[in-house]
Amino acid sequence: MRKLLAILLLMFLCVRSADFLIEEVDVTVSDIKSDGSAKVHESIKMIMYGDYPISVYDSGISNNDLAFWSQGTSLKDVKFHMNPSTVTIQDVRLRPQPRTKCNPIQGICHGELILDYTAYPSYTNDSVLTPIPGTGIFNINPYKPRTKRYTLNPSALSFTTTADGNTILDDKEHLIIVLPQDSTVLDLNPQPSDVSLLLPTHVDQLSWNDIVLVKFSLVFDMEEGIDKEVTDFFTSITNNAYKAMTGPDGIAIAALFIIIIGSYVYITISKRRGED
């Protein structure tokens, strides 16, 4: 009996000394674009034990610096759950939420950090959007006209991993991917525990929790309308022209272009004068 009480006391002291504990982490990827970028929404819920962590939380309620919260709570999950070395994180918005479900007798309160941002691929040039292979949440392959294949890049995720590099989601961590409306899932491994899909198929969203994502794979196709194909064609022409103009032969190409335009204008004016 004394041994049991000692163990319970030790567990209680360990919890109290932890100050902050993770309650739940939800990471949602949505609004997936044709360049492989996506919106990421993270909800990081925590429990505070004691006056000091509650004061730390209150002192940062207007602080939108993720580094402050990571250092102040010492929680491994207070971070970007997309890997900054694989994706380019922009448009960051961190919103600490007011404390809830406080129990003055136990000295416990609950808190939440809401983190929103856009995860882009890395590009070879800021002006010409050519993604570097292997960057971004999804790799894009326009393997046939008006159809692009999206392949999840597991290295874009930033959770705990096994020695083999497989992502580990514990019982408090959820990964949710909201798929585009007209997408067709071709490959999925492992499947979420709450669904059994017969591929190929369409599904609105996928969610994983309390699982090791061994050989994690998600592949889906998106067929685009003819208007998007026309837009991409002219965008490609513009990008190629920019590359040529900013390259080592840019001045010569610009001069040749001016000569051609000038010659056309001269010939047109000469013909009109001849007709008069």
Q: Do 263 and 270 touch, CB atoms closer than 8 A? A: no
- Please state, rounded to an integer, the average pLDDT across all residues of the chain: 86
pLDDT category at 113 given cuts 50, 70, 90 is very high
Q: Is 110 exposed, middle or buried (0-12, 13-18, 19+ CB in 10 A)?
A: middle
**What is the mean predicted confidence (pLDDT) over 31-53?**
96
pLDDT for residue 224: 80
Percent of the chain with pLDDT over 70: 79
Please give the C-alpha separations between residue 37 and each of 21, 63, 175, 187, 200, in angstroms, as whole numbers: 31, 27, 17, 20, 23
Structure confidence by residue, pLDDT tens digits, 56-106: 999 999 999 999 999 999 999 999 999 999 999 999 999 999 999 999 999
Q: What residues contact residue 146 under an 8 Å CB cut-off, 6+ apart?
A: 223, 224, 225, 226, 228, 229
Structure confidence by residue, pLDDT tens digits, 123-147: 887 656 688 989 999 999 999 998 9
**What is the mean predicted confidence (pLDDT) over 41-54?**
97
Find the helix or strand (DSSP H, E) in which 267 lies.
helix 250-275
Higher pLDDT, 265 or 44: 44
Structure confidence by residue, pLDDT tens digits, 225-256: 655 555 555 555 665 656 566 667 667 776 77
Q: How far apart are CA 91 and CA 217, in angstroms?
A: 27
Taking Cα atoms as reference points, which of 165, 149, 145 lies closest to residue 157? 165
pLDDT for residue 13: 42
| Residue 48 in this model has a pLDDT that exceeds 70 | yes
Structure confidence by residue, pLDDT tens digits, 159-190: 999 999 999 999 999 999 999 999 999 999 99
Backbone φ and ψ of 83, nearest 5°: -75, 115
Q: How far apart are CA 258 and CA 115, in angstroms?
A: 50
